[in-house]
Structure 1
Amino acid sequence: MYPLRGITLKLAAVMCFIVMISLIKAADVPSGEAVFFRSFFAIPVILVWVMIRGDLGQALKVRSVTAHALRGALGTLAMLTNFAAIVLLPLPEATALGYAMPLLVVVFAAMFLHEKVGLFRFGAVGLGLFGVLVVMEPSITMGAADAVETAQLLGVALALFGATCGALAQVHIRNMVQVEQTSAIVFFFSLTASVLALLTLPFGWDMPQGMQWVYLISCGLLGGLGQIFLTSSYRFADASLVAPFDYASMIFAVLIGYFWFDEVPGVQTLIGAAIVIAAGIVIILRERYLGLQRGKARQAKNPFG
């Protein structure tokens, strides 16, 4: 294992994704159009990656069309709503609300996968959801005041719905990886999302102009590159080690929001984000501890080590 290399790759993935959503925010096109560019232009990057790895045959092998279709539908719906929220909300606030997704994964895994979740982790989830409420509160209490604040309230609702769909997709992927190759899941998701995004074309797309072409094509390339960095990071370090670095996205979001979009996050947004991040890290550390305990138990049962 090369933990420093794994952490570096994870941070590179986080940077790719936060720049990607910043480009989508700057392009300011209908979310269906943004999903198409994000997915379609990620496909060449992913194909080159799997060819270099010699996994092209595995990437094109599908065991369950239904499973891939469901993963594609959930992921596309998550992107549609998240991309719409990004345009309506300041970048740091949208990023903080997105942290609800890993918390919801814990809840949905207990509900649908029957994973055993103790009071400790449920308590951490509760703390994290309280942090989400702290971030939401200004938009909820002032949402009916004028058009801008009403748009922010809609953005909050879309961000939370997107986090819910994303969490359901993650839980579904946990089942899929038992029988499907990771490269196939990544490739066919991008393909499915591209096709589903085209269905929104009759509802009105904007013909990109000037720098919008650059922003939209770049977001697809960065999305594919970020997926490669993310997948590769787990080859060099344990998931429990690199997972907390997801929260570096808040630092990047604050900096990009300030220098690119002239957005200054409110104190309440930062406090709420800190609570959610703390809860997420507690859950990650707890998962790591339980994994170590299970490993010791297996070794104790095996007299040959």
Structure 2
Amino acid sequence: MSVAAINPIRGISFKVLSVMLFLMMQTCIKSAGADIPAGQITFFRSAFALVPILIYLAWLKDLPGAFYTRHPFGHFKRGVLGILSMACGFYGLVHLPMPDAIALGYASPLMAVIFAAVLLREQVRVYRWTAVFVGMIGVIVILFPKLTLLREGGFGSSEGMGALSVMAAAVLAGMAMIQVRQLVVSEKTATIVVYFSITGAVLSLFTLPFGWVSLSATDTALLIAGGIFGGVAQLFLTESYRHAEVSTIAPFEYSSIIIGIGISYVMFGDIPTFTMLVGTAIVISAGIFIIYREHRLGLSRKASKKASTPQG
């Protein structure tokens, strides 16, 4: 990132705007109802997200370059992981109160730390391991009432299955983050975004024989709007990182729980439980500490590199 590009206020504004747009996407999907298969929702989310993304890239005159890649299989792996995560997340979203689904989704960065240590052999010191452990305690606090429902109602408990689906989504998203880390070494952000949406739309079509349902005009409009909101949100998210450091922007992801609670109460009458709020506070605290540690480690690496570079 060039010094001229740094504008923290603009970066934070774009980040918060992306959070709001992603919440609008989730609201559209949840409003469409729980009877629509996750694969069908995922198709609309991926296919119609391409509309604003391709328009934006055409406006930048970067459309042809966005399709050039040296790692097609890497994009395919990222697409498979991402689309499975998205499908699980959407299943959980329509079967859980929105704040619960949002809070459980915060487990993704914790999973990314674990997978970075296991798959990328990154050195994770005791501070971050402690934060992951504390964060997972928060996840258990949020999950426990849902798993109790699962024990009492068996696998017919929609909230219990929704909670497990969101956790599966968090695990898959953590793995997808690792794949993205590997891709950004040589691939442009636009290329990663475009191929993810294309892969998601194509793979979602394979769920068509497994029971897509007829949609009303309202449901169709909601799913199309959800896809477009998701695509625009992705653009603002990407743009936010051009104007500020990751450590500056990342904590504002947690504004989604505050806005989400308000939207969920007004739109769906959902009132957050005490255990959900406590668990969320624990998970957010762990997540912010991990962001802080990543920032400190990044500064240390820069200082070491500068000290080892001959000055002339």
TM-score by length of 1: 0.97
Mapped contact 2:155–2:161 kept (Cα < 8 A): no
**Correspondence for 1:17 among 18, 22, 39:** 22
| RMSD across aligned positions (CA) | 1.4
1:8 aligns to what?
13
Measured after TM superposition, the shift of residue 293 of structure 1 is: 1.7
Q: Which runs of 5+ in 1 are unaligned?
A: none
Q: Which amino acid aligns with 1:254?
A: I
Between the aligned partners of 1:293 and 1:147, the Cα distance in structure 2 is 50
Q: Is 1:181 matched with 2:188? A: yes
3-state SS of paired residue (2:30): helix
Written as runs of structure 1 = structure 2, the 5 A alignment for 1:233-252 is 233-252=240-259
State percent identity of aligned pairs: 42
2:299 aligns to what?
292
Flag the 1:263–1:148 CA change in 2: closer, same or farther, 3 A. Answer: farther
Q: Which amino acid aligns with 1:280?
A: G
Mapped contact 1:139–1:149 kept (Cα < 8 A): no
Q: Which amino acid aligns with 2:236?
A: F
Mapped contact 2:19–2:255 kept (Cα < 8 A): yes
TM-score by length of 2: 0.95
Between the aligned partners of 1:292 and 1:10, the Cα distance in structure 2 is 22
Written as runs of structure 1 = structure 2, the 5 A alignment for 1:46-57 is 46-57=53-64
Between the aligned partners of 2:141 and 2:189, the Cα distance in structure 1 is 36
Flag the 1:164–1:8 CA change in 2: closer, same or farther, 3 A. Answer: same
Mapped contact 1:88–1:152 kept (Cα < 8 A): yes
Mapped contact 1:135–1:268 kept (Cα < 8 A): yes
2:88 aligns to what?
81
Between Structure 1 and Structure 2, how many residues are aligned?
305
3-state SS of paired residue (1:180): coil
Mapped contact 2:44–2:223 kept (Cα < 8 A): yes
Task: Give runs of ≥4 in structure 1 deviating > 4 Å.
Answer: none
Q: Which amino acid aligns with 2:24?
A: V
Listed one character per residue, the Cα deviations across residues 20-61 of structure 1 (whole Å, up to 9, x for unaligned) are 112111112211111011010111211111122232122110
Mapped contact 2:149–2:159 kept (Cα < 8 A): no
Between the aligned partners of 1:265 and 1:2, the Cα distance in structure 2 is 35
Between the aligned partners of 1:76 and 1:149, the Cα distance in structure 2 is 25
Listed one character per residue, the Cα deviations across residues 218-249 of structure 1 (whole Å, up to 9, x for unaligned) are 01100110000000000000011000001111
Mapped contact 1:67–1:176 kept (Cα < 8 A): yes
